[in-house]
Amino acid sequence: MKSHFTRRCFLTAGAAASVATATYVSSARGEKKPSSQAEVPGPDYKIQNGRIHHSVMGWCFAPMPTPQLIDACHAMGMTAMEGISAEHYPRLRELGMKPSLIGSHGFKDGPTSPKHHENCVKKLREGIDLAVEYGAPGVITFTGMREQDLSDKQMADNCVACWKEVIGYAEEKGVNLCMEHLNSRDDSHPMKGHPGYFGDDVDFCVELIQRVDSPRMKLLFDCYHVQIMNGDVIRRLRQYKDIIGHIHTAGNPGRGELDETQEMYYPPIMRALLALDYQGYVAHEFIPTWDDKLAALRHGVQVCDV
């Protein structure tokens, strides 16, 4: 069979490959601009479809002042934020927004060890009260780090026992406890990976949640962490749809923007959530590398506004 791949086609393809390579290399070198193929919406961008309930993790945009980020998210049409200090919740309320997830005990000193149980229960109950006050659907929780003197079974039993101690209060108040699975693989940055984290296998995390045996015990499905540790993101969304209470996004590798330099393509992931009739929040938790952090956020929201 005669080939139709002419010299002109070869040169055109080679030029396109060079552009793509240049885009990737510039990103890998840490250039602080949008990649050449990224379509970045302007400052007047507003969410168009609104079928995905967008939120954003505030810590990713530091040192931007939180009030500035709140106003930008509100102008964009977002209805919720998380990862910000509770002192800013009244401002969210003024704008008709709410916290999408309330913080609690942190990911290090979690319930893997009984020595942390008293503080974990205290922080979770306080988070539940804040969730009720400001209309948040959930409070985050974690397994915590591995304890050298404890077996996997002991740590798992400790986690389940701690959550069972507080889950009745969550049920009473109508608030979800959302346990986040984190990756233990990336050691390049303290917020890109968490070596030593106990709940680093999403399938095992689901087993822990099922052991608590409550409709208020949910999985925080972080697409970035799942991709690193387990992969098969869309199939797992379908598999665990009944216990997923919250979603986080970020590009991988590097926890960067949701652009073509990353290995995950988010539109089909969002469409899968719509097909599953997911009603929770999708919170953007990527760490912007572009000089204009708000442009990066607008871009991420637009990518997921399917």
Burial of 62-95, coded b for 16+ CB within 10 Å and e otherwise, reads eeeebeebbebbbebebbbbbbbeeebbebbeee
CB atoms within 10 A of CB 15: 10
Instruction: Map out the domains of the chain as residue ranges.
Output: 44-304
The pLDDT score that the predictor gives to residue 34 is: 86
SS3 content of the chain, % helix, strand, coil (to 5): 45, 15, 40
| 6, 246, 266, 274, 296 from 251: Cα distances, Å | 36, 17, 9, 20, 12
pTM of the model: 0.89
CATH number of 44-304: 3.20.20.150
Q: pLDDT tens digits, the chain, 306 residues: what are they?
A: 333 333 333 233 333 333 333 333 333 444 567 876 678 999 999 999 999 999 999 999 999 999 999 999 999 999 999 999 999 999 999 999 999 999 999 999 999 999 999 999 999 999 999 999 999 999 999 999 999 999 999 999 999 999 999 999 999 999 999 999 999 999 999 999 999 999 999 999 999 999 999 999 999 999 999 999 999 999 999 999 999 999 999 999 999 999 999 999 999 999 999 999 999 999 999 999 999 999 999 999 999 999
The pLDDT score that the predictor gives to residue 8 is: 34
| 80, 110, 185, 192, 215 from 121: Cα distances, Å | 25, 10, 28, 26, 18
Secondary structure (3-state) at 31: coil
**Omega before residue 253 within 30° of 0, cis:** yes
CB atoms within 10 A of CB 214: 17
